[in-house]
C-alpha cells in the first residue's frame, strides 16, 4: 500500500529521489490532459473487461476496478477530484485515485498496457468526437449561408477576379461558393476517420505484450474498426494528429479568406454589405466608426492555428521511433487548434446571420467596369460567326471607345455599335443587360438563376 500512497511516484522503488520539483511542474501535463478523463476511463473500462474475458483478472477485481473508475468519473464531472501535478498526467492521476478508492487491487488495471498506448487511444477517441462537433458547426454555417442565398437569388453583383469587376453574378452564387468550400471541409475531417478508427490499445509500451489480450475485443468495445498493425509504429505515430491539425488549418484558412472578403465588401470604399450592430465594435476616439472586429478576429486566428500545425510537424521531424516525452505536447496543440476553430465557426455563423447585402450598391458597382464585355464578345461569336479571338479584339475596341467617350457599354446606340461590327442588329442591345448576362450562364456550375435554384434545392436536402 505504501508504494501507492498519494504523492509518491509509481516508480519510487526504482527512482529513489523525487524528480526535481521544477521539472515536475513543467513536465506535468495534467492541466492539459485532464480534458481526456472520460476517454481515459472509457478506455480503461474496456481494457479491464477484456482482461476479465481473457481470464487475466478475476470477476471481482474487474468489478471493483470498474466501480472505482465510475466513481472517479463522477468526482471529476462534479469537480470534486483533486488533480495532482506530482502524478504527471491524467492516466496516473486516475490510477492513483483508484488505489485510494479500492486499494491494492487497483494494481491490476495496468496489466498488458502502457501509458504509451493508453494516451493515443484516448486522443483518437477524443479527436473523433471533436471532429463530429466541428462537422456540426460547419453544417450550421452551411444552413445559415443557404438561408441568405435563398433570399438573394436575384441580387446582382459584380463577380471579381483580381478584385476588379469581371462578370455579373448572383450574390447567392457567391454564397453558394462558400457552401462548396465548407462541404469540402466536412469531407476532409471525415476522411481522417480511417486512421482514427485503428485501435492502438494493447500494443503496450513498444513491443506488444506477453499477456493473452484480445485486441479485437477492445477495438469493438471502443468503436474502432481494427487494431493497429505494428506496435512500434503505433506508439510513435502522430500522423492522425497532423491530419486533424491540417484539416483545422484548411478550415481556418477558408474562414480567414471569407472574412477578408467580407471586410473588403464592408469597407467604405465598397459598401457592398452591411453588418448589424451585433457583429461590429466601436472606436474609443472616432464616434462614427463601426468596425468589423469579429471578422478581423477570424482572419487573425488562422495564424495561431497554422502555428500549431507547424509546432507539431517540428516536434515530429527529428524523432526516431518510438515514444518520447516530446510527444506529450500533442494534446495542448490539438486542444488549442480545436478550441480556436470552434470559436471561429460559431462567430462566423453569427456574422452570416447578421449580414445583409446592400443591393443598390451591388447593382451600381456591377453596372460599372464594362462588366458585360465578355457577353458582347460571346454574342459576336454566336451570331456573326467570328472566332472568339476576333470577337475579343472587336470588343476591346468597343471598351476603348466607351472609355474614351466616358460611356457604359449599354449606352451605345445600334448605329454606334455598327462601327465596331457592321452586321449587328437591334437584338445585340440585350447582351448589356445584367440579368440577361446572368441568365445566360446556364452550364452546370454557372451563375444562372435556374442553376442556383436547383443547387439550393439540392442543399436543402443536405444532412
Q: Which stretch binds ligand ARG (CB under 6 A): 180-188, 236-244, 271-279, 320-328?
A: 320-328
Kindly state whether residue 199 participates in binding ligand ARG, applying the rule CB under 6 A. no
Pick 54 or 84: Cβ nearer ligand ARG: 84
Cα angle 392, 394, 400 (rounded to 5 degrees) comes to 100
Can you tell me which of 182, 323, 348, 412 binds ligand ARG, judged by CB under 6 A?
Answer: 323
CB of 200 to ligand ARG, least distance (A): 12
Q: Which stretch binds ligand ARG (CB under 6 A): 38-46, 58-66, 115-123, 301-309?
A: 115-123
CB of 194 to ligand ARG, least distance (A): 23
Site string for ligand ARG, 272-291 (x = CB under 6 A): --------------------
CB of 325 to ligand ARG, least distance (A): 6
One of 70, 267, 283, 385 is an active-site residue; which one? Answer: 283
Residues 224 to 263 in contact with ligand ARG, rule: CB under 6 A: none
Q: Cα(78)–Cα(83) distance, rounded to whole angstroms? A: 13
Can you tell me which of 64, 115, 186, 301 binds ligand ARG, judged by CB under 6 A?
Answer: 115
Pick 89 or 261: Cβ nearer ligand ARG: 89
Nearest residue to ligand ARG by CB is 89
Pick 126 or 348: Cβ nearer ligand ARG: 126
The residue whose grid cell reads 500512497 is: 5
Kindly state whether residue 327 participates in binding ligand ARG, applying the rule CB under 6 A. yes
Kindly state whether residue 29 participates in binding ligand ARG, applying the rule CB under 6 A. yes
Measured N-to-C along each axis, helices 239-266 and 330-353 cross at an angle, to the nearest 10 degrees, of: 30
CB of 329 to ligand ARG, least distance (A): 8
Pick 330 or 378: Cβ nearer ligand ARG: 330
DSSP β-bridge partners for residue 199: 227
Q: How many CA atoms lie within 13 A of 216 on its CB side?
A: 0
One of 21, 162, 284, 413 is an active-site residue; which one? Answer: 162
CB of 29 to ligand ARG, least distance (A): 5
Pick 203 or 402: Cβ nearer ligand ARG: 203
Torsion of the alpha carbons at 338, 456, 163 and 140, rounded to the nearest 10: -20
Q: Which stretch binds ligand ARG (CB under 6 A): 15-23, 113-121, 414-422, 429-437?
A: 113-121
CB of 206 to ligand ARG, least distance (A): 9
CB of 244 to ligand ARG, least distance (A): 16
DSSP β-bridge partners for residue 161: 164
- The separation between CA 318 and the C-alpha centre of its own chain, rounded to angstroms, equals 27
Contact assessment for residue 20 and residue 80, using Cβ atoms and an 8 Å cutoff: no
Can you tell me which of 56, 57, 119, 137 binds ligand ARG, judged by CB under 6 A?
Answer: 119
Residues 68 to 97 in contact with ligand ARG, rule: CB under 6 A: 89
Pick 94 or 355: Cβ nearer ligand ARG: 94
User: Is 413 known to be catalytic?
Assistant: no
Closest CA to 259 of 290, 295, 231, 205: 295
Pick 127 or 371: Cβ nearer ligand ARG: 127
User: Is 283 known to be catalytic?
Assistant: yes
CB of 76 to ligand ARG, least distance (A): 17
Kindly state whether residue 124 participates in binding ligand ARG, applying the rule CB under 6 A. no
User: Under rule CB under 6 A, how many of the chain's residues touch ligand ARG?
Assistant: 9
Pick 328 or 451: Cβ nearer ligand ARG: 328
Query: Residues interacting with ligand ARG, by CB under 6 A?
Result: 29, 89, 115-116, 119, 323, 325, 327-328
Show which residues are catalytic.
162, 283
Amino acid at each position: 500500500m505504501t508504494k501507492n500512497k498519494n504523492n509518491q511516484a509509481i516508480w519510487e522503488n526504482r527512482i529513489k529521489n523525487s524528480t526535481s520539483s521544477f521539472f515536475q511542474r513543467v513536465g506535468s501535463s495534467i492541466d492539459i490532459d485532464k480534458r481526456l478523463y472520460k476517454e481515459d476511463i472509457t478506455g480503461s473500462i474496456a481494457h479491464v473487461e477484456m482482461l476479465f474475458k481473457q481470464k487475466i483478472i478475476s470477476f471481482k477485481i474487474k468489478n471493483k476496478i470498474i466501480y472505482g473508475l465510475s466513481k472517479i468519473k463522477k468526482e471529476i464531472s462534479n469537480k470534486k477530484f483533486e488533480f495532482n501535478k506530482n502524478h504527471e498526467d491524467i492516466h496516473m492521476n486516475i490510477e492513483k485515485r483508484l488505489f485510494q478508492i479500492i486499494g491494492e487491487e487497483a494494481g491490476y488495471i495496468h496489466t498488458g498496457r502502457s501509458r504509451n498506448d493508453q494516451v493515443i487511444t484516448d486522443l483518437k477517441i477524443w479527436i473523433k468526437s471533436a471532429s463530429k462537433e466541428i462537422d456540426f458547426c460547419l453544417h450550421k454555417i452551411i444552413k445559415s449561408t443557404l438561408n441568405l442565398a435563398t433570399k438573394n437569388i436575384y441580387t446582382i453583383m459584380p463577380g471579381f477576379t483580381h478584385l476588379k469587376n469581371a462578370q455579373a453574378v448572383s450574390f447567392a452564387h457567391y454564397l453558394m461558393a462558400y457552401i462548396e468550400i465548407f462541404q469540402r471541409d466536412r469531407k476532409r475531417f471525415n476522411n481522417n476517420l480511417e486512421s482514427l478508427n485503428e485501435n492502438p490499445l494493447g500494443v503496450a509500451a513498444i513491443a506488444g505484450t506477453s499477456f493473452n489480450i484480445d485486441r479485437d475485443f477492445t477495438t469493438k468495445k471502443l468503436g474502432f474498426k481494427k487494431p493497429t498493425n505494428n506496435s512500434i509504429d503505433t506508439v510513435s505515430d502522430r500522423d492522425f494528429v497532423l491530419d486533424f491539425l491540417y484539416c483545422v488549418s484548411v478550415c481556418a484558412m477558408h474562414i480567414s479568406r471569407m472574412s477578408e472578403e467580407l471586410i473588403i465588401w464592408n469597407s467604405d470604399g465598397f459598401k457592398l454589405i452591411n453588418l448589424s450592430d451585433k457583429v461590429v465594435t466601436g472606436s474609443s476616439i472616432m464616434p462614427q466608426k463601426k468596425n468589423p472586429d469579429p471578422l478581423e478576429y477570424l482572419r487573425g486566428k488562422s495564424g495561431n492555428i497554422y502555428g500549431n500545425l507547424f509546432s507539431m510537424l517540428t516536434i515530429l521531424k527529428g524523432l526516431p521511433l518510438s515514444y518520447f516525452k516530446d510527444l506529450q505536447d500533442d494534446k495542448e496543440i490539438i486542444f488549442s487548434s480545436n478550441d480556436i476553430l470552434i470559436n471561429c465557426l460559431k462567430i462566423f455563423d453569427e456574422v452570416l446571420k447578421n449580414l445583409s447585402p446592400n443591393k443598390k450598391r451591388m447593382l451600381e458597382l456591377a453596372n460599372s467596369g464594362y462588366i458585360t464585355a465578355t457577353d458582347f464578345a460571346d454574342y459576336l461569336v454566336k451570331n456573326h460567326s467570328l472566332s472568339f479571338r476576333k470577337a475579343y479584339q472587336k470588343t476591346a475596341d468597343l471598351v476603348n471607345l466607351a472609355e474614351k467617350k466616358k460611356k457604359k457599354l449599354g449606352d451605345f446606340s445600334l448605329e454606334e455599335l455598327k462601327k465596331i461590327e457592321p452586321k449587328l442588329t437591334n437584338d445585340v442591345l440585350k447582351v448589356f443587360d445584367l440579368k440577361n448576362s446572368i441568365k445566360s450562364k446556364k452550364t452546370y456550375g454557372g451563375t444562372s438563376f435556374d442553376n442556383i435554384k436547383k443547387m439550393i434545392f439540392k442543399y436543402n436536402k443536405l444532412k
